[in-house]
Amino acid sequence: MTSRSRTGFFSAPAADGAPSGPSPAAGGGPASGAAPGPGPGASGDSASSGAASSADALKVDYIFELGVEEMPAGYFGPAASQLRDELARALEAARLPFGSLEAWAGPRRLAAGIRDLAAMQPDFSQEVTGPPLASAFDANGNPTKAAEGFAKGQGVPVSEVFTLQTKKGPYLAVRKTVAGRPAGEILAEALPAILGSLKFPKTMIWGEGEHRFARPAHWILSVLGGDLLPLEFAGIRAGAVSYGHRFLSPGPLSVSGPGEYAARLAEARVLAGFEDRHEAVLAEIAGAVESSGLDLSPVVDPDLAREVANLVEEPAAVLGSFDPGFLDLPLAVSATAMQEHQRYFPVLDRQGRQAPNFIAVNNTRARDMDVVRRGHERVLRARLEDARFYYLDDRKASLASRSPELSAVVFHSLLGTYAEKTERVSRLAADLAREVAPDLRDTVMRAAELSKCDLVTGVVKEFPSLQGVMGREYALLDGEPPEVAEAIAEQYMPVRAGGPLPATPAGAILAAADKLDTVCGCFSVGLDPTGGSDPFALRRQALGVLLTILDRGWRLSLDPYVERALAALSPFAARSPRESRDKVMEFFSARLKTHLLDQGVSADGAEAVLCLHGGQPLSALQRALALEGLKRRDGFRDLAQTFKRVVNIIRKFGGRDLPVHPASLSQDAEKRLLEAVAAVDADTARHLHDGDFAGLIDRVAALKGPVDAFFDEVLVDDPDESLKTARIALLNRTASLFELIADFSKISTL
């Protein structure tokens, strides 16, 4: 081959760096990402693809189900979402268009259905890069063995090789058309890998295999276009059948596609969808009361109803009863014995008092439900007997008398006992009360002294979720003031994300002090939360402190309370006070930023406020909201640029601590700016005291004109050092007013 072949067979790269020659053959675009599905426990998760391809003419439906032993109630909702999302991603990566994707989950199954799936992956063009162009030709311009070997390895003549411009320079390349694969092949490869990647709180290995899953697998349903699609997972080979209710319809049932999946399971006494099961649970509870003919009202806890819906495949409820003598127990005790230990629903009478009844939801409708009811009654009686024993035993001593026992109960091995924590929280709560509610100091102190005493009672040891609740009950029985008792109960609020905050001021003070001690304690000994691990719920507790401050409207700074909390923790500290303080304040600032974003504050607006005022939660929120209002006004861009210019000059020349000497300012623009700054400065104390940051912003924004005039008429970097110093001092005083709101240099969305 002559040197002419180099230009004849290897064309120059296109001007934009794209390969020369014809464009790749048009093929089907990737499927769209999975659409957001319902929350945990929901089974109607769906995704869709709007892609079009040459394979659109032939579409098929696919149904998949993995049958397992009963999974815990909280496992399979998230697993269904993972299955849906990962399957959608796999189809997208394979360029397989589909119409919709739905996932189902229940105690014994995890399933997915795909409708209008392209039966074949579209053909596509693929560019394969070979050796560098420099090594592809010899000195005479003829192809080297590297070029010939590359072409031969790709199964094409050298004449079809072209030049591809890459970041590393020109390379030889080949454009090949790759034939699409059947959808069945892709699914058979993807699904076992997806199943193996699903995340559960705990997994197990069973049999002789090495597969890990939430529970042992028993069967696989896999039908594509009405025919069995062979695949294997955890030693189980796929078939074309599912299985119904374990007891009511245990035999196999054929399922040909996702369109009939839910209906075929319903025939076999299984409700595939979470919403269907949830509605059935609520209907069964209402029906059990109605059929009794009694004037009763069930107490349906929403979380418990969702949990029960995830424990049954076809619910069947019965109304049971217990000895009225157990009604002497506080409702919280008997209700907890029913709800947490047995997943029963308490019942109230027409006066709203606890009735000697309960509702149990079963997974099987027996021929004789009376037998089932009597079984539940025997189990509940044993639970209530235990609760009554502990309750009566607890009443032999007052709540206050149990305080010495806290010295033997460890709060954390690195942070001492609950007696030590109680002492720290008491001092911190007293300090908070002194600032936000001085008249409640004695109430808060008494509540703090008793706050942890119920942890050593028998009822709380048996029912840990009643901590605080039993403290309130026992405090009231001991004759403590109601506001003290209520504060004891509210100290743990909010107990979950989005949960209610303390309703009383004393409870809010105690809750904030308790959480602040925990957060500071953990950081002081190095128990920081990591990206995916927060075993002490420090994020929730820090947010709880912030939300309590905002809810109560406390205009206070966190800094002194963090420092006091850390000082009290010094005997346990593994870090220096300064390091601990910086980490704690940064942690609170991050939580506050998240809250500001939830309130509609922009990211840069939140950062501009928090970098200066992050330690003042209420003021920071009000500043950020006022700043967002300013950002929506016409002319904000010019205003922000003016403020940024002032800040940048201060940073360039320094002068933060320079006093302003009016006698050194002789030009009119200087004097006008000084007068405007002095006028605004005179009003700042009032605006800050009232929390009127919108008004403060209006006053500060009025400085734009005098500042612009100053820059137009005055040279800051004057050769006369005394003039330069005076002007920088004036700008510094001006900037200090801007910073009462935010650091405008951090505003980027102009």
Residue 296 has pLDDT above 80, yes or no: yes
- HSE at residue 258, side-chain half, CA atoms within 13 A, is 22
Assign 136 a pLDDT band (cuts: 50, 70, 90): confident
CA pair distance 462, 704, nearest whole angstrom: 66
What per-residue confidence (pLDDT) applies to 57?
55
Tally the residues of the chain.
Answer: 750
What per-residue confidence (pLDDT) applies to 657?
67
What per-residue confidence (pLDDT) applies to 37?
35
On whether the CB atoms of residues 317 and 344 are closer than 8 A, the answer is no
- Mean pLDDT, range 550-558, rounded to an integer: 96
Residue 307 has pLDDT above 60, yes or no: yes
Residue 29 has pLDDT above 70, yes or no: no
The alpha carbon of residue 186 and the mean position of all alpha carbons in its chain are separated, in whole angstroms, by 33
Assign 635 a pLDDT band (cuts: 50, 70, 90): confident
Kindly give, in sequence order, each residue whose CB lies less than 8 Å from that of residue 306, ignoring residues fewer than 6 positions away: 41, 278
CA pair distance 746, 644, nearest whole angstrom: 9
- HSE at residue 378, side-chain half, CA atoms within 13 A, is 6
What confidence tens digit (pLDDT) does each residue in 350-367 have? 999 999 999 999 999 999
Query: Which long-range contacts (C-beta less than 8 Å, at least 24 apart) are formed by 645-649?
Result: 645/711, 646/707, 646/731, 646/734, 646/735, 646/738, 647/735, 647/738, 647/743, 647/744, 647/745, 648/745, 649/716, 649/728, 649/731
On whether the CB atoms of residues 604 and 748 are closer than 8 A, the answer is yes
What per-residue confidence (pLDDT) applies to 33?
33
CA pair distance 440, 444, nearest whole angstrom: 6
- Mean pLDDT, range 76-83, rounded to an integer: 92
On whether the CB atoms of residues 130 and 166 are closer than 8 A, the answer is no
What per-residue confidence (pLDDT) applies to 118?
94
DSSP annotation of 438 = G
On whether the CB atoms of residues 696 and 740 are closer than 8 A, the answer is yes
On whether the CB atoms of residues 196 and 178 are closer than 8 A, the answer is no
What per-residue confidence (pLDDT) applies to 16?
36
pTM for the predicted model, two decimal places? 0.76
On whether the CB atoms of residues 549 and 556 are closer than 8 A, the answer is yes
Assign 650 a pLDDT band (cuts: 50, 70, 90): confident
Can you name the residues that pair with 110 across neighbouring β-strands? 66, 105
Between the alpha carbon of residue 357 and those of residues 288, 324, 385, 392, 691, the distances in Å are 11, 9, 15, 22, 53
What per-residue confidence (pLDDT) applies to 52?
41
What per-residue confidence (pLDDT) applies to 587?
97
Can you name the residues that pair with 345 across neighbouring β-strands? 359
What per-residue confidence (pLDDT) applies to 655?
58
Residue type, 628: E
- Mean pLDDT, range 477-500, rounded to an integer: 95
Residue 32 has pLDDT above 70, yes or no: no
What confidence tens digit (pLDDT) does each residue in 60-72 have? 999 999 999 999 9
CA pair distance 518, 35, nearest whole angstrom: 39
What per-residue confidence (pLDDT) applies to 219?
96
Assign 548 a pLDDT band (cuts: 50, 70, 90): very high
What per-residue confidence (pLDDT) applies to 556?
94
What confidence tens digit (pLDDT) does each residue in 670-729 have? 899 999 999 998 988 898 888 899 999 999 999 999 999 999 998 888 888 888 888 888
What is the token pair recorded at 28? Answer: 């089907």
Q: For 695, list phi and psi in degrees, rounded to 5.
A: -65, -40
Assign 656 a pLDDT band (cuts: 50, 70, 90): low
Assign 661 a pLDDT band (cuts: 50, 70, 90): confident
Residue showing tokens 């990962």 = 86
What per-residue confidence (pLDDT) applies to 172?
83
What per-residue confidence (pLDDT) applies to 206?
83
Assign 98 a pLDDT band (cuts: 50, 70, 90): very high
- Mean pLDDT, range 386-390, rounded to an integer: 95
